[in-house]
């Protein structure tokens, strides 16, 4: 019994420590400055306006504070200039100059820039820096391209080899974060200032099936043709693809009327009561569904036809009628659109 108490107590301590660590991590992110001006050496180039908070937001990709900062036991990172200087007398292999230290950290991730324009990617207006020691208003370097609107992948499949991926639609319409699909990948794989924004040749099956399978069924052989076609296609998303085509009333609604605008778009429960509440017998105008009920059905409870009030599946008639079935036999009259 005593050993059980020790195990429970240890578990509680572990959970408490995890909670405290999570809270401390959130507090640290809140304290991170929006940007930092790196002013070494300002006699040659304008200072670099480093978007510090933007880099902290890619922590889910595996980019941690320790990728740039030396380990600090108390969680407080000392300024780089406290140890690194630009005095040649202080230089050693173990202690590079401040100029070298900054560049070593940056090129750990940013490796694909060409030598002729790598400086201009971070340093503002380097051509005019010698003419003036006063930099222009602080601004961040231009953001790298996100990628083309549409990607066409040529897969090794002998049948239906082409996959069309609408990247822009997933970002803007479905509001996916980069890390939804791209996990533990180098940013420069897609965000390159020079050269193609992304490869169009599939080299690894799992590299593409794994992120897609978070939303799409990739294990079912019958689902392959949803993505794999004989030739590239320009067909975009329609709500019919979800298995729940929009009727004339829902077509008028903005996506955010049903989908949370603060989250990536995901499949919803099609049951009417998921959005519409307080259905009462005799108060709901069934004609709004496009089917006006005959008078004999108007006093029926929804569950008489819609079993367990599940409205995303066809209704049943056999609760009352032995020889009738939907949709061959309708409980009302279809209305013209």
CATH assignment at residue 107: 3.90.10.10
Cα separation, 327 vs 314, in Å, equals 8
Give pLDDT tens digits along the chain (337 positions). 455 544 444 444 444 443 333 444 455 666 677 767 776 555 566 677 777 877 776 666 666 777 788 877 777 788 888 888 877 777 777 788 887 788 778 777 766 555 555 666 676 654 544 433 444 444 444 445 566 788 888 887 778 888 888 888 888 888 887 777 877 665 556 655 454 444 444 445 667 777 888 887 777 777 788 888 888 887 778 888 777 888 777 888 888 888 888 888 888 887 777 777 766 656 778 887 888 999 889 888 888 898 887 777 889 998 889 888 998 999 999 887 6
Does residue 300 sit within a domain? yes
Residue 330 pLDDT? 92
Run of H or E including 5: helix 2-31
Task: Assess if residue 307 is contained within a domain.
Answer: yes
Q: Is the Cβ–Cβ distance between 164 and 233 less than 8 Å? A: yes
| pLDDT, position 277 | 72
| Rounded CA separation 99/107 (Å) | 13
How far is residue 142's CA from residue 214's CA, in Å, rounded to a whole number? 32
**In-domain check, residue 63:** yes
Q: Does residue 143 sit within a domain?
A: no
- For residues 315 and 239, membership in a common domain is answered with no
Number of domains in the chain: 3
Cβ(210)–Cβ(204) below 8 Å? no
Q: Are residues 234 and 297 in the same domain?
A: no
Same domain (yes/no): 283, 203: no
pLDDT at res. 10: 44
pLDDT of residue 228: 86
Whether residues 178 and 209 share a domain: the answer is yes
Q: Give the structural domain span for 200.
A: 151-251
Do 290 and 245 belong together in one domain? Answer: no
Please indicate, yes or no, if residue 116 is contained in any of the structural domains.
Answer: yes
Distance, in Å, from the CA atom of 144 to the CA atom of 156, rounded to the nearest integer, reads 30
Question: Considering the domain boundaries, does residue 26 fall inside one?
Answer: no
- pTM greater than the 0.85 cutoff: no
Domain stops at, among 128, 143, 159? 128
């Amino acid at each position: 019994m005593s050993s059980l108490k020790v195990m429970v107590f240890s578990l509680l301590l572990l959970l408490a420590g995890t909670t405290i660590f999570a809270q401390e991590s959130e507090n640290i992110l809140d304290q991170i400055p929006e940007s930092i001006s790196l002013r070494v050496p300002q006699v040659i180039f304008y200072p670099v306006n480093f978007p510090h908070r933007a880099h902290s937001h890619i922590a889910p990709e595996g980019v941690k504070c320790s990728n740039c900062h030396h380990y600090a036991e108390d969680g407080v990172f000392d300024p780089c200039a406290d140890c690194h200087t630009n005095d040649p007398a202080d230089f050693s292999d173990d202690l590079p100059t401040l100029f070298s230290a900054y560049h070593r950290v940056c090129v750990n991730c940013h490796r694909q820039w060409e030598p002729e324009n790598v400086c201009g990617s971070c340093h503002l207006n380097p051509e005019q820096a010698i003419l003036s020691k006063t930099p222009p208003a602080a601004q961040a370097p231009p953001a790298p391209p996100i990628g083309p609107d549409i990607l066409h992948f040529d897969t090794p499949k002998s049948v239906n080899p082409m996959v069309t991926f609408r990247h822009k639609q997933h970002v803007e319409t479905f509001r996916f974060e980069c890390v939804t699909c791209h996990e533990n990948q180098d940013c420069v794989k897609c965000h390159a200032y020079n050269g193609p924004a992304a490869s169009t040749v599939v080299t690894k099956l799992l590299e593409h099936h794994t992120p897609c399978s978070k939303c799409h069924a990739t294990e079912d052989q019958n689902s392959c043709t949803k993505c794999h076609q004989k030739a590239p296609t320009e067909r975009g998303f329609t709500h019919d693809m979800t298995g729940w085509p929009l009727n004339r009333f829902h077509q008028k609604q903005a996506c955010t009327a049903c989908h949370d605008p603060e989250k990536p778009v995901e499949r919803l429960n099609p049951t009417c009561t998921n959005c519409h509440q307080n259905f009462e017998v005799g108060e709901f105008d069934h004609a709004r569904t496009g089917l006006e009920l005959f008078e004999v059905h108007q006093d029926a409870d929804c569950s008489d036809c819609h079993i367990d009030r599940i409205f995303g599946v066809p209704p049943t008639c056999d609760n009352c009628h032995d020889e009738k079935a939907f949709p061959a036999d309708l409980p009302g009259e279809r209305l013209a659109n």
